Amino acid sequence: MLFSNSILFDLVIFTFSLAVAKLVLDRRSSHLATLRGPRSNNIFFGRIREFLDDPATAVDRWVSEYGYVFKMPSVLGTNRIVISDPKAVAHVYANDSFGYQRLSSGKKFTRTFFGHSMLSADGEDHRRLRRAAAPAFTNGALRDTMNVFYDSVYKLKGAWDVLFESHDEVIIDVQQWYDPNSHRNINLMLDSMGIAGFGHDFRSLDGHKSPVSEALDGLLEDSSFRVVLTVGVFFPQVLKLPLKRIKIIRRMQKAFTDIAKVLLENSQQEKEFSDVEKDRSILGLLLKGRSQNTNFKLLQDEAVGQSHLSTNYHANMIVTVSLSVRPTIFLLLACTQTMEKWALVELARHPEMQHKLRRELLQFSGSDPTWDQIVTGTACPYLDAVVNEALRLHPPVQTLQRIADKDDVVPLSSPIKTSSGKMVDSIFIPKGTTVTTPFVYINRSEAFWGPNAKQFVPERWLEENPYPSKDFSGYRHLYTFSDGPRICLGKMFALAEFKAVLSVLIRNFTFELPSGPDTPIGIHKGVLPRPKLADEAGCVLRMRVRQATREGEQSSQ
């Protein structure tokens, strides 16, 4: 009898939940019915697979038919809104983290791998963590990281110079910065960002493997990682299974935590002993936030304001807040590494641009450009243009999803036609609706960037922009770093590393694709879209590398 009552109760709850879900979906669908969009061609996936496979091409086609705002059939009969209208995009991202939040599946995924962090937080929680971390990402705090980036790339240059002692030309797989015949895997960015971000040398340039490098290689190169992570976003329980890829991420998570604890111990020694070498890494600066004698203070309620709590509590809280930036730095590492490879591909495709950039950089043949010269200054306008064009044409994060946390009316720059034929200059988005922004389409749209929008043209950044892209509010009118309250906190950190690497490599080496500028380039669809040789099965990007000469005589220093 008790068993029967239990089953009856479960059935009632299940039926009630279905009814509520149906009411919510019916309400949402009734409002979305006014929007036009492509029809579903798959009962389970709608048009989502087509969209994920090539978002730029799919959205380009749909925008031409339905306008800059349309609905797209998604998983299991649901719909999402896709927006690329400038005013609509600005509105959504101005309210990011409050009116529009990360999808719950994405937040669960981030918490599983990185713990509680800025990436998994929303609203006041996100604002609090961001305010605590922000002092370590200012220009003043980051200026010293240039030396770290230069040290790492010069170690790579030294390794390559050895190869040229017996060869005029060397084949380098720039995907891993190594000579394919040596079987040596070098992760340049891991070393530089490890020191600058975590105060920890992963020694990748010395051939050392670590849980972090193992996870990074898997995320960027192993397609099976993408499958596991994609499934994990929709079904977080998968991330708790004892799978090999999950174990790799867990080991990375533990490694980051151990690094933070060591940094905490070192910061205490700095406080007690004046002759201890100062740690200027991002996490090091955050850990100093508990000191009353530093400008890098953590929020009072996140660190030491509660004097009645134990020292261990303080230490744990500080490590927690410091580790909240861990996924930010890790994602910067992955994204910047991807953008650097795309920049080298485009410069190899356009030898005249590579030569023009080298001529500009040779003004620093006796020294290296400083932070104030190439990050915040204008000493290298063409380097700045090349970097911006790589960010525009090849954004590592191609789309971003948010879910409406409340009913909202979104203004439009240009009116769109509804399913009834009416022209409207705003749209209603009901609470719970998924809103997708296709950054890669926006960055490559001829309507926004002109007739050569799909081509690599750094010169566009040296001229006045006459196109509607100037209406976008992101960094340099790009949404590569997102925008609003959740704009990438470490964008200047990433740009500094990007420019330091290019400035040294292009000054000292020339890069050519195996079959010349017209060598077919494909896309390796891992977690991030990376360039590869189209005729290679794996994520391989071999280039013919030579030592550059100045005025045809001597190698630049």
CB atoms within 10 A of CB 193: 31
Please choose, from the candidates 496, 495, 541, the residue with its C-alpha nearest in 3D space to the C-alpha of residue 220.
Answer: 541
What kind and span of H or E run contains 512? strand 509-512
Q: 482-499: buried (b, 16+ CB within 10 Å) or exposed (e) per residue?
A: bbbbbbbbbbbbbbbbbb
C-alpha to C-alpha distance for 205 and 184, rounded to whole angstroms: 9
- Counting Cα atoms < 13 Å in the Cβ hemisphere of 440 gives 19
C-alpha to C-alpha distance for 330 and 157, rounded to whole angstroms: 24
C-alpha to C-alpha distance for 502 and 153, rounded to whole angstroms: 9
Structure tokens at 130: 């961001």
- Whole-angstrom CA distances from 197 to 117, 143, 497, 526 are 16, 13, 11, 24
What kind and span of H or E run contains 544? strand 542-547
What are the φ and ψ backbone dihedral angles of 391, each rounded to 5 degrees?
Answer: -65, -35
Q: Are 540 and 173 in contact (CB under 8 A)?
A: yes
In 288-325, alpha helices (H)? 311-323
Give the largest CA-CA distance in the chain.
Answer: 95
Site of tokens 């508990």: 290
Q: Are 267 and 112 in contact (CB under 8 A)?
A: no
CB atoms within 10 A of CB 363: 13
List residues bridging with 436 in a β-sheet: 82, 401
Q: What string of H, E and C letters represents the secondary structure of 100-138?
A: EECCHHHHHHHHHHHCCCCCCCCHHHHHHHHHHHHHHHC
Q: Are 478 and 443 in contact (CB under 8 A)?
A: yes
488 labelled ligand-binding: yes
Residues in the chain, total: 557
C-alpha to C-alpha distance for 229 and 109, rounded to whole angstroms: 8
- Whole-angstrom CA distances from 184 to 173, 178, 207, 441, 514 are 10, 6, 7, 37, 20
Secondary structure letter of residue 194 according to DSSP: I
Residues annotated within a binding site for heme: 488
Residues annotated within a binding site: 488
